[in-house]
Amino acid sequence: MPKVGMEPIRRQQLIKATMAAIDEVGLADATVMRIARHAGVSAGIISHYFGGKDGLLEATMRQILSDLREAVATRRRELSTTSPRDHIGAIIDGNFDRSQVTGPVAKTWLAFWASSMHKPELARLQEVNDRRLYANLCHQFRRVMPHDEARACARALAALIDGLWLRGALTLEGLDRDEARRLARDYLDRLLDNRNTLSPS
């Protein structure tokens, strides 16, 4: 057999290089040459392994969302209780997991979010991720409050999580993970302890 086994290595290299390039100069200036230089390979290799630049960008977003999903799933698997508060807490912690909040990942995530408004394929990935977060939150809230209230709580908490991410991606210092977790968990406590102020639509 000929020289084999380069494909998974190169794919990982190039995905990582894509995030590094976006972190460095932004999505608009992340050219194939710059990405290739980050990975220490030539530009042509991108088309060879990903069919083109779009394929690489899509694969990169897929990786980010997959890591996020796994971070949340791991935290929930480690739970010994079944209480809604703990499960939602695990979802919060997973969303502010270390691997997700590093500078390059956060900036790439935001760049793709903005880009997904006009690229159907990215929008699809984003929507799947979004709906899972919302559905998970909704399901847990549903165990301790009525339908309408649970939906409102899920929407609000999801918005707070995204907002903290958004602001974390922009600030020079990056996101303060501990503070973000503290703020989100405090909000959760307020939602669970004093449930009757959020009137349904």
Partner DNA sequence: ATTTCTTTATTGAACGTTCAATCAATAAAG
Partner DNA sequence: CTTTATTGATTGAACGTTCAATAAAGAAAT
Q: Which residues bind a second copy (CB under 8 A)?
A: 25-29, 107, 110-111, 113-119, 126, 130, 152, 155-156, 158-164, 166-167, 169-170, 179, 182-183, 186-187, 189-191, 193-194, 197-199, 201
CB of 130 to a second copy, least distance (A): 8
Residue 92 touches which member of DNA, a second copy, none, C-beta under 5-8 Å by kind: none
Give the one residue of 33, 73, 79, 114 binding DNA; rule: CB under 7 A: 33
Our CB check for a second copy shows the closer of 41 and 198 to be 198
CB of 147 to a second copy, least distance (A): 15
Angle (nearest 5°) at CA 122 between 134 and 180: 45
The strand ranges marked E within the chain are: none
CB of 32 to DNA, least distance (A): 4
Residue 184: count of CB within 10 angstroms of its CB? 22
Helix (H, G, I), strand (E, B) or coil at 81: coil
Interaction between residue 6 and DNA (CB under 7 A): yes
Q: What is the distance of C-alpha 126 from the center of its chain?
A: 9
Residue-wise burial string across 129-166, b where 16 or more C-beta atoms lie within 10 A, e elsewhere:
beeebeebbbebbbeebeeebbbbbbeebbebbeebbe
Cα distance between the two ends of the chain: 65
Residue 77 touches which member of a second copy, DNA, none, C-beta under 5-8 Å by kind: none
Residue 2 is encoded by which pair of tokens? 């000929």
Our CB check for DNA shows the closer of 32 and 138 to be 32
CB of 7 to DNA, least distance (A): 5
